[in-house]
Chains A and B, each alone.
Chain A
């Protein structure tokens, strides 16, 4: 069974631009969560989608948004990029039940210049 796939793996953008990152969960998984990892703040929860609905949201500005499609694939978008948005963005998928484990992708390394 294929793991969680995130594309692209690396990305360089300019301040003010917007970016869209993609995550394909493990087949059969309906929950997709997104995390941001920076050296200063560590791993922080962005949001979670389950069956195309946002179920949880972290403490990030409205420039960060996401969505989930009917096939469970998810995208996250960051608009008006700032230098501080440079980070490793990680996606995790799970079956969605209360006590099931989440599996992470390898992440997208975003650099804002």
Chain B
């Protein structure tokens, strides 16, 4: 099956700093989704990217799908403590498969 690496596994930033997590696939993806899971919570859908080179924004969050549709990134500008959690990419194979996640810690 497809192998999707999500990096970094963990990042600790100070409030106001930027944050980026990456999802890299060994094969071309038809689309990719991003989810956020707060500590003690459940994954919540953020966005889906379908087109090559697609860029979508949600307030301080910017999502990109690579031109070759093999990688994707989530960038948060000026992090806030409310951004704390684990961010997962997810992609359809025969079923929806989740990446390993990036845990973000934000301190004041």
Q: Do A and B come from one complex?
A: no
Residues of A in contact with B (beta carbons under 8 Å apart): none
